[in-house]
Amino acid sequence: MSNGIFITFEGPDGAGKSTIIDLVANQLHDALLTREPGGIEIAEQIRKVILDKENTLMDPRTEALLYAAARRQHLIEKVKPALAAGRIVLCDRFVDSSLAYQGHARGLGMDEVFTINQFAIENLMPELTIYFDIEPEVGLKRINKNKDREINRLDLEDLAFHQKVREGYEILMNRFPDRMKRVDASGSIEEVLKRTLQIVEEKLAEK
């Protein structure tokens, strides 16, 4: 369907995902680095509604549908055209975030959340997903240290929620062992970057 390669990055908050992905993108020729909502105006507007701390009444299913809607728009406007042009697309979070956060941690059910996402993505799954694994306690500590980072509605959830998120990712790791590769994110940036690049380069070599 496309000539490019679609790689996604997942993990709990505070795993250092964004830092590592920036560094990975710098090492690859002509990679598109993006994250949902990816600067796509419609998706940005949807995301504001999702993450607004005032929206305390938001129903979990509404949250899941809004993420899927923002995902759809980002996919159509940004990801698909880049793949069609043969580029490497590196995306910070994708469907697995919804499965872990909304499906498992919020308790909506991973299969149910996958069904609404399938409507949004029409089978366009990543070829490789790198999962940055870290103890939720360590991740949350890192977030609190980073004063520049804006605290959003999901960051305000308690430790038990973040533990459920991790459990969700573990379920996904077991379910999709070919697509998903784990990287221990507790090490130094250099270590995590080295391991990540190794996995990405192995995948690119297969093409």
Q: Which two tokens stand for residue 70?
A: 């923002």
97 binds ligand TYD (CB under 6 A): yes
In the complex with ligand TYD, the residue whose CB is nearer, 101 or 169, is 101
By CB under 6 A, residue 10 contacts ligand TYD = no
183-189-193-195 Cα dihedral, nearest 10 degrees: -40
The binding track of 50-79 with respect to ligand TYD, each residue x by CB under 6 A or -, is -----------------x------------
- Please pick, from the candidates 16, 80, 88, 101, the single residue that binds ligand TYD as defined by CB under 6 A: 101
132 scored as a contact of ligand TYD (CB under 6 A): no
Contact 200, 7 (CB under 8 A): yes
Q: What is the full DSSP assignment across 100-151?
A: IIIIIIS-S-HHHHHHHHHHHHTT---SEEEEEE--HHHHHHHHHH-TTSPP
Least distance (Å) from ligand TYD to the CB of residue 17? Answer: 6
Give the three-class secondary structure for 57: coil
Interacting residues toward ligand TYD by CB under 6 A: 13, 17-18, 35-36, 67, 92-93, 97-98, 101-102, 152, 154
